[in-house]
């Protein structure tokens, strides 16, 4: 019988970004979560949010989630859906699932650690390494800064890269995408990300003009929850559509997959609520023949990708790995080298965030 949870503790800190993601986005928030069961086994997880809601996430963990979880079995799969139903009054996704991820990840870490296995082995290793693509949060970069970043991607050995689009003037997007395509050459994959900035009409025009640059996908071309708009867009463009970084439940992913508008699904393992729902979403994508490409959080995403039979590219945002942010205590669980991500064999998730005595604010 699984031992019950006897302790859940959290700690909030912020880590400065060496390369800001835009005006006002110069640091990321982390909520470290530690769970202990009655047998004395400890698991460590985290919640994460770039700018908004970190204190609310921590409060949900410290109050509603802790009060509900104490005394229940330390079993991520058994607890996830009952907890989601319990918290649903506060919202089906967003802060709710981001907070739930902290507990879910800690319980998976506890289980794998108790078995003495790295998470990849615990899930069932399928690969020794997986492809990573260079990712730039670079809409605010000058033209010269963008060019320099593309050159760094080439030098780093990435065979696929992603850049931001959605500038006020389409001509500027065209100039920037053309420059990146020229630098990376014809043999590397190129993806674009509009971050929900276009209307359907704007997206049709922009994607059809940018398609000449041989795009692997267009990411979040429309407001994330606009299913009807995505259906209209799917009928008007040939470039594959990527969605999911701002879909928070398997139900929403299912709706987009059933509608045939999600060629690539991009669950963020924290935003969807942890490993338990991530695995369900990935299975849904596989059933529909969609590609799974997890959003950000390379240290978590790569471990899940390494345990998937299907090819699962992982995102490597420049300057934003946990190691580069200085939030990892010890060896990172994942490293990216020459365009490939591999795990380092750490027990459990292998994510030990910096000690409480030395927080980064």
pLDDT computed for residue 360 by the predictor = 52
Statement: residue 357 has pLDDT above 50: no
Superfamily per CATH, domain 122-343: Enolase-like C-terminal domain (3.20.20.120)
Residue 76's nearest CA partner among 180, 10, 5 is 5
Tell me the C-alpha distance between 284 and 282, whole Å.
5
Residues 284 and 253 sit within 8 Å (Cβ to Cβ): yes
Average pLDDT of span 276-291: 98
3-state DSSP helix/strand/coil percent for the chain, to nearest 5?
A: 40, 20, 40
Distance CA(127)–CA(341), nearest Å, equals: 10
pLDDT-derived band at 355 (thresholds 50, 70, 90) equals confident
The CATH 3.20.20.120 portion of the chain extends over 122-343
Of 336, 335, 337, 333, whose CA–CA distance to 345 is shortest? Answer: 333
Residue by residue, DSSP assigns 44-60 as EEEEEESSS-HHHHHHH
For the chain, percent of residues with pLDDT exceeding 90: 94
Tell the CATH topology of 5-114.
Enolase-like; domain 1 (3.30.390)
pLDDT value at residue 194 = 98
Q: Look-up: residue for tokens 């929900």?
A: 196
Confidence class for position 361, pLDDT limits 50, 70, 90: low
Q: Which residues are catalytic?
A: 164, 295
Q: What is the pTM of this model?
A: 0.96
Residues of the chain with CATH 3.30.390.10: 5-114
pLDDT > 70 fraction of the chain, expressed in percent and rounded: 98
């Amino acid at each position: 019988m699984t031992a019950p949870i006897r302790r859940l503790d959290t700690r909030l800190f912020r880590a400065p970004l060496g390369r800001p993601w835009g005006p006002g986005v110069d640091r990321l928030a982390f909520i470290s979560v530690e769970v202990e069961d009655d047998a004395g086994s400890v698991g460590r997880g985290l919640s994460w949010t770039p700018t908004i809601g970190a204190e609310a996430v921590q409060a949900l963990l410290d109050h509603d989630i802790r009060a509900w979880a104490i005394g229940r079995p330390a079993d991520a799969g058994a607890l996830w859906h009952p907890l989601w139903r319990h918290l649903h009054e506060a919202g089906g996704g967003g802060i709710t699932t981001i907070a739930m991820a902290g507990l879910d990840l800690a319980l998976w870490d506890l289980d794998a650690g108790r078995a003495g296995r790295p998470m990849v082995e615990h899930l069932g290793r399928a690969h020794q390494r997986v492809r990573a693509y260079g990712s730039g949060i670079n809409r605010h970069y000058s033209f010269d800064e963008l060019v320099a970043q593309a050159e760094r991607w080439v030098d780093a050995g990435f065979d696929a890269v992603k850049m931001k689009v959605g500038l006020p003037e389409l001509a500027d997007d065209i100039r920037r995408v053309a420059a990146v395509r020229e630098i990376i050459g014809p043999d590397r994959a190129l993806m674009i990300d509009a971050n929900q900035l276009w209307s359907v009409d704007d997206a049709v025009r922009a994607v059809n003009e940018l398609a000449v640059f041989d795009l692997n996908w267009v990411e979040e071309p429309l407001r994330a929850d606009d299913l009807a708009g995505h259906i209209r867009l799917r009928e008007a463009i040939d470039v594959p559509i990527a969605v999911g970084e701002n879909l928070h439940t398997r139900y929403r992913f299912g709706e987009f997959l059933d509608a045939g508008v999600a060629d690539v699904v991009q669950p963020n393992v924290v935003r969807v609520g942890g490993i338990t729902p991530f695995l369900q979403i990935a299975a849904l994508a596989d059933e529909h023949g969609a590609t799974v490409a997890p959003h950000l959080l390379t240290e978590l995403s790569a471990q899940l990708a390494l345990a998937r039979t299907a090819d699962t590219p992982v995102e490597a945002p420049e300057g934003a790995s946990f190691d580069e942010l200085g939030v990892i205590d010890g060896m990172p669980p994942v490293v990216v080298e020459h365009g490939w991500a591999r795990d380092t064999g750490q027990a459990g998730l292998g994510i030990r965030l910096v000690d409480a005595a030395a927080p980064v604010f």
